[in-house]
Amino acid sequence: MSYALISNTSNCKNCYKCIRYCPVKAISFENDKASIIHLDCILCGTCYHICPQNLKKIRSDTALVKQMIASGAPVIASVAPSFVAYYENCDMETMTSALKKLGFQGCEETAIGATIVKKAYDEMLEEDHDVILSTCCHSANTLIKRYYPNLLPLLAPVLSPMLAHGKDIKSRIPGAKTVFIGPCIAKKDEADQHPDLIDAALTFEELDAMLADAGIQMEETASPVRIEKSKARLFPTTGGVLRTMECKSRNYEYLAVDGVENLMRMAEDIQAGRIHNCFIEMSACAGSCVNGPIVVSKQKSIASGTIAVRQFAGKEDFDCYQVQPDEIGCAYEDDHRHRVTPSEDLIEKTLVKMNKEDPANRLNCGSCGYDSCREKAIAIIRGRANPDMCLPLMMEKAASMSDKIVSNSTNGLMVLDEDLHIQLINERMCRLLGGVKASELIGQQVTAILDPFDYLDALGGDKVNARKQHLEQYGKWVENTVIHDTKFNVLICIMRDITKHEESALKQKQLIEKTMMVADEVLNNNMMTVHEIASLLGETAAQTKVALTTLKETINNE
């Protein structure tokens, strides 16, 4: 199955931001990679626009649309009215012109379908209902289907504006292929579920790419054309659905709830019996569709988008449709996965594995992406997280390991800032420097205890690796290595004590020198003897000289 939204995990940096912001925690973290749990995802697009590495990718359907156009079939675009919040100084005339240049046969407004839908809602309000939930937003519908299935009977049994418009287009234009274009990722999934009504769904970004590939510029107009029969253009704003409805029945409260977190609280209130006699307009995006994930990526504000849509909308209904409100009925099916809550005993055991046995360690800081340590424990049990996803714990472990390594190192270790102030020094280094206390050195310049040449060389880019030097004031011979960490702007000094080795080498040198002195004395004595008996020895004297000279050279070489 080709999902509308996927994770590219190749460059995941383990920041947990997608988990932290996902309202339904439909993210799993395995092998140091964050992946979308598609069966739990409501396609709100939050992870798409907050991922720092841009690793959440929207499926591109541009190739499919190009194939439809190339097939010769009449391809009709259904353009969401929020396009005026995305494209500045653009109206239906300029949008239609651009799409026809791409090969679309026609371009219509999804608001036509919205008109049919709002009429169906008004008809429902004449019947006896307690709570009615609008069904324009696919993410909101999916939230109910997957997380609050007991509220399914409250979903208005009415198609969304996109699907209603697709049905209307196909009823009017035989053989038509319908392509929705809007600011929403979820509409791709909705189109996948209803291929008989919508053949493909594109985002505004995909439309941008198609226009760019074809070398087509979206024209701008100084005064966008506004028509009076376009009231349903208000749908992509918060409360826009209600503003288009008659809402004649006084037996209902009329509310607009936007944002997934607010929808979840609303659903919990309904379940608890705190809401009655109410029609609720639902939108997963705060600010509704004018703040959809694709519009957010263009950094447009809710305010400017809402104003653009309101100024574009007329005061009367569209009348250019064929499908009637009673022909867009549908049933929303349970898509809930039964999630068994682990036993308290298992949760407690998992908290122990997380080093959270002591309640005082359960900070509930949210750095792992979960609101509480308990929720994270449940996620671990379900295989969605691992115990190491805890910043305070990992910092504590890192500090502990660092302290142990530094404290137990056989080498002297010291960290300086780039101004050569001592930031860290271990006990071994203190002993090398005559037993001074670390507390007395922290914050001091290294020049107070050592020559700065090696550190200045390292700052200048020279390689300082195992440089031998004599610390005369401390009676030590050392090999000094200095590393300049430009990322953290520090100098790391590793000093190895080689005093015993150097003292041993000095003793060996002294022994060799003494041996050479003895050899010289023997040679001189023998030479005197040689001179005295030279006449007797002849060639033997010369050989003796050669032998002794060779012996001396051998000793000297050693």
DSSP state string for 324-339: -GGG-B--PPP-PPP-
E-only strand ranges, 248-349: 253-258, 278-283
Dist CA 117 CA 111 (whole Å): 9
pTM for the predicted model, two decimal places:
0.74
Block residue for tokens 């300029």:
94
What are the two backbone dihedrals, phi and then psi, of residue 431, each rounded to the nearest 5 degrees?
A: -65, -40
Q: For residue 379, what is the enclosing H or E element?
A: helix 373-381
CATH of domain 339-408: 1.10.15
DSSP state at residue 229: B
Closest CA to 158 of 281, 42, 332, 334: 332
Q: In angstroms, what CA-CA distances link 508 with 410, 502, 515, 520, 556? A: 26, 10, 11, 18, 12
Counts for the chain of helices (H) and strands (E), in that order = 23, 16
Closest CA to 163 of 135, 185, 139: 135
What's the pLDDT at 78? 98
Per CATH, domain 1-58 is 3.30.450.40:
no
What's the pLDDT at 530? 59
What's the pLDDT at 116? 97
Q: If you write DSSP's letter for every residue of 441-502 in order, what string do you get? A: HTTSBGGGTS-SHHHHHHHTT--EEEEEEEEGGGTEEEEEEEEEETTTTEEEEEEEE-HHHH
- The two tokens of residue 228 are 């009076």
Dist CA 182 CA 205 (whole Å): 9
DSSP state at residue 11: G
Reduced to 3 states (helix: H, G, I; strand: E, B; else coil), residue 20 is helix
Decide if 4 contacts 203 (C-beta within 8 A). Answer: no
Dist CA 440 CA 156 (whole Å): 74
What's the pLDDT at 204? 96
What's the pLDDT at 230? 94
What's the pLDDT at 543? 67
Torsion of CA 260, 264, 270, 274, to 10 degrees: -100
What's the pLDDT at 525? 76
Dist CA 495 CA 410 (whole Å): 9
Angle subtended at Cα 261 by Cα 256 and Cα 266, rounded to the nearest 5 degrees: 50
Block residue for tokens 């090999």:
479
pLDDT tens for the 558 residues of the chain, in order: 589 999 888 888 888 899 999 999 999 988 888 999 999 999 999 999 899 998 999 999 999 999 999 999 999 999 999 999 999 889 999 999 999 999 999 999 999 999 999 999 999 999 989 999 999 999 999 999 999 999 999 999 999 999 999 999 999 999 999 999 999 999 999 999 999 999 999 999 999 999 999 999 988 887 777 899 999 999 999 999 999 999 988 889 999 999 999 999 999 999 999 999 999 999 999 999 999 999 877 767 899 999 999 999 999 999 999 999 999 999 999 888 777 788 989 998 888 888 888 888 888 888 888 889 888 898 889 888 888 787 776 666 666 666 677 777 889 898 999 999 999 888 888 888 888 888 888 999 999 899 999 999 999 999 999 999 899 889 899 999 999 998 889 999 999 999 888 878 878 878 777 877 877 777 777 777 656 665 555 556 566 666 667 666 766 665
Reduced to 3 states (helix: H, G, I; strand: E, B; else coil), residue 88 is coil
Dist CA 64 CA 52 (whole Å): 29
Per CATH, domain 409-497 is 3.30.450.20:
yes
What's the pLDDT at 158? 97
What's the pLDDT at 397? 66
The strand pair at 464-471 and 476-485 is best described as antiparallel
Decide if 276 contacts 154 (C-beta within 8 A). Answer: no
Dist CA 345 CA 382 (whole Å): 15
Decide if 417 contacts 423 (C-beta within 8 A). Answer: yes
Q: Where are the domains of the chain?
A: 1-58, 60-327, 339-408, 409-497, 504-557
